[in-house]
Amino acid sequence: MSYRTLLRDHRGLLGIAFLAMFSSSLGQSFFVGLFQVPISERLGLTAGQFGTAYSLVTLASGFAMLRFGPSIDWVAPRRFALIVLLALFAGMALLTLSPAWWLGLLGLGLVRLCGQGMMSHLGNTLAGREFTALRGRALGLAGMGLMLGETLLPPLVAALLVWLGWRELWWTLGAGLAVLWGLSLAAAPWPPAPGARPQGGEARDGPRPFRDSRFWRLLPLLMTLPVTLTGLFIYQAQLTAAMESSLAVYSLALTGMGLSKLPGALLGGHWVDRLGPVRLARLYLLPFALGLVLALTLGGHLAVWALMVGGGLAMGAQESIATSLLVRLWGAEHLGRVRATLSASMVFSTGIAPAVLGLALDLGAAFEWVLAGMLALLVGGWGLAQGVLASPEARGVTP
């Protein structure tokens, strides 16, 4: 079945997942970062204090994901979406209107949890659970919602700030989302609750990823891109200096990354359905690995472009591959719990990674050594995951 046929036959459900992924943009770092200065001024925080507070609320949202994310395995998706949406709007109200700084930070935490965390959790879980043979394509199409947000919102914000204050802009975007979600909640074909809430021993009998060695062996492979790209985003000045490039080239290459995510998602989803997630899991990091090798050997503008475009291709494909692997290993009925655990782990790692890299640079490490460490993490994660990828469960074979 082609993407066109999939859209024709399942556009309602795919529209819900797409809208959820687009809505997650309001809690993503790329969007919140656009308002770092006015938010800091409103809360009375310096840039350094804002960064520390941002890391703390991000880590707190990771713990909240572990607590609330699994509920999508038994709560009706329509009700789940409504609760998350109301909490997201409450966070936006606190962030933009609260007189006390701690209430503003609570609002920021809700925006991070419900935006980046729960909305993307909803979109990916719906696409991964409600589709079987077409799971890869469905995940690829849903992921384009976030790509649209990354591409559309920064220039839209820049244009609207000419006429609106930052708070009015947030309210305007919130009103637009409220209209779209109102139509979706009223008319879209929402699936029923996937099952009953596990009670007592049933809850203990479900998957517990943190106690499963397969999860820990697979985790470094899936964390490689979020961790390394976070480091490259934050330390872009050091990267361009080490490569003898420029921030102007980096900015253009960052646009190239955003554009490269589209073929990564569409081709990745197609190949997951045709070849299976195991084969793709062994190959999808190759474009980013090539970028790291070019950066370590050649440097220059080419290295910056290779890192960004290679990272974009791999990142576009990752969600289709990762979610399909989780379904293979732990079953679609437990996807909410396992995805919530994976999401929380990535939040923790991306929150800690900048501090670790910053400490290494403060101690005098050359950025080339940082890139070498990223390549070592990629190769080590790939090697550690091979045993899990070769297991009968991952290959879809009954032992």
Domain boundaries, the chain: 1-189, 207-391
Same fold for the domain at 1-189 and the one at 207-391?
yes
Show contacts of 243-252: CB within 8 Å, 24+ apart.
243/295, 243/299, 243/300, 243/301, 243/303, 243/304, 244/299, 244/300, 245/299, 245/300, 245/301, 245/303, 245/304, 246/301, 249/301, 249/304, 249/305, 250/304, 250/308
Alpha-carbon span 156 to 219, nearest angstrom: 36
Q: Please state, as a whole number, how many other Cβ atoms lie within 10 Å of the Cβ of residue 56.
A: 14
56 within 8 A of 147, measured Cβ to Cβ: no
Place of tokens 């687009």: 22
Q: Which of 184, 143, 197 lies closest to 333 in space, CA to CA?
A: 197
Collect all residues with Cβ–Cβ distance below 8 Å to 274 and sequence separation of at least 6. none
Q: Please name the fold of domain 207-391.
A: Growth Hormone; Chain: A; (1.20.1250)
Q: How far from chain centre, in Å, is Cα 18?
A: 14
Alpha-carbon span 25 to 153, nearest angstrom: 8
pLDDT number for residue 235: 80
pLDDT number for residue 398: 43
Q: Which of 292, 287, 299 lies closest to 240 in space, CA to CA?
A: 299
Collect all residues with Cβ–Cβ distance below 8 Å to 27 and sequence separation of at least 6. 88, 111, 112, 113, 114, 115, 116, 117, 119
Alpha-carbon span 296 to 364, nearest angstrom: 18
371 within 8 A of 295, measured Cβ to Cβ: yes
| Amino acid in position 116 | Q
pLDDT number for residue 176: 94
Phi, psi of 76 (to 5 degrees): -55, 130
pLDDT number for residue 254: 81
Q: Domain 1-189 in CATH: superfamily?
A: MFS general substrate transporter like domains (1.20.1250.20)
pLDDT number for residue 89: 95
Token pair recorded at residue 42: 């409103």
What is the pTM (predicted TM-score) of this model? 0.83
Place of tokens 């991000």: 58
Q: Which of 39, 28, 46 lies closest to 115 in space, CA to CA?
A: 28
Alpha-carbon span 337 to 65, nearest angstrom: 9
Mean pLDDT, each 10-residue run in order, the chain (399 residues): 76 92 88 82 80 82 88 91 95 90 91 90 89 83 87 84 89 94 91 73 66 90 88 81 86 84 86 86 93 91 92 90 87 83 83 77 86 93 91 63
Alpha-carbon span 143 to 148, nearest angstrom: 9
pLDDT number for residue 81: 94
